[in-house]
Structure 1
Amino acid sequence: MTGRLSKKLYKRELEVLQAELVDMQAWVQATGARIVVIFEGRDAAGKGSTISRVSQYLNPRVTKVVALPTPTEREKTQWYFQRYVAHLPTAGEIVLMDRSWYNRAGVERVMGYCTNAEYHRFLHQAPLFERMLVEDGIMLFKYWFSVSDVEQEKRFRSRNEDPMRRWKLSPNDVLSITRWEDYSRAKDTMFVHTDIPEARWFEVDNEDKRRGRINMISHLLSRIPYEVVERDPIDIPARPKSGGYERPPREQSALVPDYAAELERREREGAGEG
């Protein structure tokens, strides 16, 4: 990576790619395709913000973001992949997974949340599970977001100082700083066992989030054989003449206070004082 992508170029290309995503979604609906996109990577690697850019203009009834919480006690007794199966797409749907079944190969392995037997069973079953998905017609794409240890710590500190984003920082996230090499080894082992021809892993260098987002979205679109679907034009009818309806007096309704007007008043007063 050479440097930070300019904001102007980033915004211009992002708009183009997002328009293509809308076309791709229309093709998915028209053809009944099923798509799963997995977003994995280190903590603070920029998975969530990339998902936001991917889904920004897409129909949430068609493109669903799945970010599962910690499994319940009941889910812990199920087949490991069982709770993920419920979120797989049906015809005409796209599922974006903000983390996935690969939790077992990453945080669960490193933090000791699963046994050695459960971990090795996962490494054996994951390729089998994914081959079955692809064999059944699901298009499965797996992206690993990479970031350096220096940049990760920088983002952690930025989140910790920002009240609006502090919720993104968990105790496990902070511990990942002290377990950097453990996570690296876990990721390398995961790739060895699960980077299969039917569902390859693709790494996204996300040291610069602008570059990473553009690169990931462009690559995803290049991997889906979509075509532009001609949509039937929609005619907006002329509004009919009034039939005598009279709206009840506004004072009978509980209106939201005009907070915007209060802001304008304060702005005027502040300008006058200046």
Structure 2
Amino acid sequence: MRRWSLENFDIGRPLGKGKFGNVYLARERQTKFILALKVLFKKQLEKAGVEHQLRREVEIQSHLRHPNILRLYGYFHDASRVYLILEFAPKGELYSELQRCGSFSEDRSATYIMELADALNYCHSKKVIHRDIKPENLLLGANGELKIADFGWSVHTPSSRRSTLCGTLDYLPPEMIEGKTHDEKVDLWSLGVLCYEFLVGKPPFEAKSHEDTYRRISRTNVSAGAKDLVARLLKHNPMHRLPIQGVLTHPWVVECSTKNLLPVNISLSL
């Protein structure tokens, strides 16, 4: 594997700020290749006791190859910082886009859900559970395609950050809140929450109870097909959730999505 250093890059404008550092637009000097450079401060990582987690996340993300997963090309470090060399997603954060639009159309929502389900299906086949699927961790590529950007290392622009209570908690499945063992089905729950938020503009669990959530979605002017998908994913018992393959073949997803998926192993440059 190539050895990188800061000398290899021209650094451009900041793309985002986070708890442990910043992300910058950058260009590899030799090839002029545009990318994103995530700079994390070792002191802050150590203080939070998360170096092991970083190592694990880097290990995971560097081995994933999927059009809807942000590529991690490599990494290097110096005395005080760790640098992650990442794919640049020109259209920015999905969360900002959702805030701008208020909510998404059914076609757009179904397309994102299909892209996300395809990426998660790929992750799960590699025994990777994401556990933190939410709009803040999703970016948009040059053609508006969705990219899972964060395997445990959220870096946000301050304006698009939620407080923990109405943020990640909305996306936590019951088995994680209850401290039970969990598997890849946690990502199915998050997919249901995400689908609801795309269509309605806010997450469902600001409601007081699950019954309240179902009442809330039944009151919205969302199509029967979309309601059916959300209801099948937001099952308290993980075993009862619609499996990821079922999401990809769900009539609403198939009919409304504007994307016909290529099998992942087909080179997109063919």
TM-score, normalization: structure 2?
0.23
TM-score, normalization: structure 1?
0.23
Larger RCO, structure (CA 8 Å, separation 6 or more)? 1
Q: Which protein is bigger by CA-based radius of gyration? A: 1
Larger strand percent: 2
